[in-house]
Chain A
């Protein structure tokens, strides 16, 4: 599991290069997210295009990643698969994270409603 980190406009774009975030890589994900988001402010967008599946352990890791970002930063999500969207909907975590259909949608949406 690798993360990539780029700046797109004023948004920190983190690509998650793994096809699943599950019990097996949850701790590794939290550690790598801490490294990727350290000192970052403003909008942080996690691109989940490659992630087909997240289980409840992986969801816990995504929440842990949110807690690690600076107080002034937001953690948003884009490109949720059917299974990931279902997970976020059933746990109501889609009310905690701002969810975008795609990275482009997220960049165009701006930070007004963040």
Chain B
């Protein structure tokens, strides 16, 4: 993990796949994965900056716009939740995000030192009801639904004084 706030580093690796299908050579990206780790302050500016860097990285790897949109939406919701609830809006908190782009999926991992999730679990939420008059429409309660809808799998663990979120987003079924 980078120890310098606001910096980002990544490496491109050749996957070790002896005897891999030569047909895949036509798509060089198939043999690549990228790793990224970034550490930033748990603020609106910190979240915006990290999302911009991650988006730029994925664009560079020719990830399709639909998947990039999914990654940005998922991470935005997780990171906003960390700022607003785990750190309860207080300044000085840090967030670490690491991301791995490999064949078939994008894996994201976040670490923060805020309060644990209530019940030590991620909430299973339904989409808020949109029935009823205009004045009764919901203005919140979408975040966890979006994360669940856009990920194949999501894990949460409280390890020591830290929250760990793991998120898997499929490349072939971005919705």
CA distance A86 to B139 in the complex (A): 17
Given the contacts A20-B48, A55-B77, A60-B139, A86 and B69 also touching, CB distance less than 8 Å: yes
Chain A 22-36, CB-CB to B under 8 Å as 1, else 0, gives 111000000000000
Q: A86 touches which one: B66, B77, B80 (CB < 8 A)?
A: B66
A90 contacts B150, C-beta separation under 8 Å: yes
- CB of B43, distance to nearest CB on chain A (Å): 9
Residue A106 is within 8 A (CB to CB) of chain B in the complex: no
How many residue pairs bridge A and B at CB < 8 Å?
A: 75
Which B residues are in CB contact (< 8 Å) with A81? 69
B137 contacts A57, C-beta separation under 8 Å: no
A56 contacts B69, C-beta separation under 8 Å: no
Q: A82 touches which one: B51, B69, B137, B138 (CB < 8 A)?
A: B69
Across the interface, name the chain B residue whose C-beta is closest to A71. Answer: B134
Across the interface, name the chain A residue whose C-beta is closest to B128. Answer: A91
Residue B72 is within 8 A (CB to CB) of chain A in the complex: yes
Across the interface, name the chain A residue whose C-beta is closest to B142. Answer: A56
A23 contacts B44, C-beta separation under 8 Å: yes
State the main secondary structure of chain A at its contact with B. Answer: helix
CA distance A12 to B76 in the complex (A): 31
- CB of B56, distance to nearest CB on chain A (Å): 12
Residue B140 is within 8 A (CB to CB) of chain A in the complex: yes
B73 contacts A63, C-beta separation under 8 Å: no
- CB of A24, distance to nearest CB on chain B (Å): 4
B139 contacts A63, C-beta separation under 8 Å: yes
Residue A9 is within 8 A (CB to CB) of chain B in the complex: no
A82 contacts B65, C-beta separation under 8 Å: yes
Which A residues are in CB contact (< 8 Å) with B73? 55, 83, 86-87
Residue A109 is within 8 A (CB to CB) of chain B in the complex: no
- CB of A18, distance to nearest CB on chain B (Å): 12
CA distance A90 to B146 in the complex (A): 7
**B interface, CB within 8 angstroms of A:** 44-45, 47-48, 51, 65-66, 68-70, 72-73, 76-77, 80, 83-84, 127, 130, 134-135, 137-140, 142-143, 145-146, 149-150, 175
**A interface, CB within 8 angstroms of B:** 20, 22-24, 53, 55-57, 59-61, 63-64, 66-67, 81-83, 86-87, 90-93, 95-96
Return 27 A-B CB contacts under 8 Å, by A number. Answer: A20-B48, A22-B48, A23-B80, A53-B72, A55-B73, A55-B77, A56-B77, A56-B80, A56-B142, A57-B80, A59-B142, A60-B138, A60-B139, A61-B139, A63-B137, A63-B138, A66-B137, A67-B134, A67-B135, A82-B66, A82-B68, A82-B69, A83-B69, A83-B73, A90-B145, A92-B127, A96-B130
